[in-house]
Chains A and B, each alone.
Chain A
Amino acid sequence: AQKITQTQPGMFVQEKEAVTLDCTYDTSDPSYGLFWYKQPSSGEMIFLIYQGSYDQQNATEGRYSLNFQKARKSANLVISASQLGDSAMYFCAMREGFGGYNKLIFGAGTRLAVHP
């Protein structure tokens, strides 16, 4: 069964607007972590934001925020004030259990294009 689902293959947004990238997950482990990574055309994976399953507040990192809805098992990424440099692939990932030594499972990704 697919554990991480990103239903948007591609998204478009106007520069300076906000955009939401969807991610749903499935796990029976009560302890888990959710991640978002950005992958520009160069291929490097850039860590953006992390949310732990027991965190009470939604994670925020600068222009990135994670809309964590535990009951719905969703962890959408919100990018505010989009910039041209935000154009890239975005991957949602989950790690079951805590501890950085557990593997990450990635979604299929969403390609974001920011238009001027």
Chain B
Amino acid sequence: GAVVSQHPSRVICKSGTSVKIECRSLDFQATTMFWYRQFPKQSLMLMATSNEGSKATYEQGVEKDKFLINHASLTLSTLTVTSAHPEDSSFYICSVAVAGIKETQYFGPGTRLLVL
């Protein structure tokens, strides 16, 4: 299957700092990537759809100025959590859309963010 990488896998930061998370599609070019957030013992919630070369589409309730998404190339999308606070501590996971028969999404390994 498709290989998607995320960096870093784990990050601890102080409250008020900004954190950048990278999502890379290693096998193919991806015009669309998705960013999800998962709090402990909860399901995945879509935050935004990242489109190469254009502005991201954010889900209702997600602050676009706090969660900056940049999809500058066909293989890389970045999520920046600006002025992070403890309530932003979560598991952030990206996925890549795959066109084809099964049209599934392949997920990256995720990034665990802890804001102190």
Contact = CB atoms under 8 A, between A and B. Distances in A.
A44 B49 CA distance: 19
Interface residues of A, number: 23
Contacts of A107: 43
Given A45-B95, A91-B43, A104 B105 contact: yes
A29 B94 CA distance: 26
A12 interface: no
The binding surface of chain A is classed by DSSP as: loop
B100 to A, nearest CB: 7
B7 to A, nearest CB: 14
B110 A98 contact: no
Among B43, B95, B100, B110, find the residue whose CB has the most chain A CB atoms closer than 10 A. B43
B43 A109 contact: yes
A19 interface: no
Contacts of A98: 103
B97 A47 contact: no
A47 B43 contact: no
Given A43-B93, A47-B1, A108 B43 contact: yes
B103 A106 contact: no
A99 B108 CA distance: 20
B46 interface: yes
A99 B105 CA distance: 10
A30 to B, nearest CB: 16
Interface of B: 1, 31-32, 34, 38, 42-46, 49, 91, 93, 95, 97-100, 102-110, 112
12 contacts: A33-B103, A42-B109, A43-B38, A46-B107, A50-B102, A50-B103, A100-B97, A100-B103, A101-B49, A101-B99, A103-B49, A104-B95
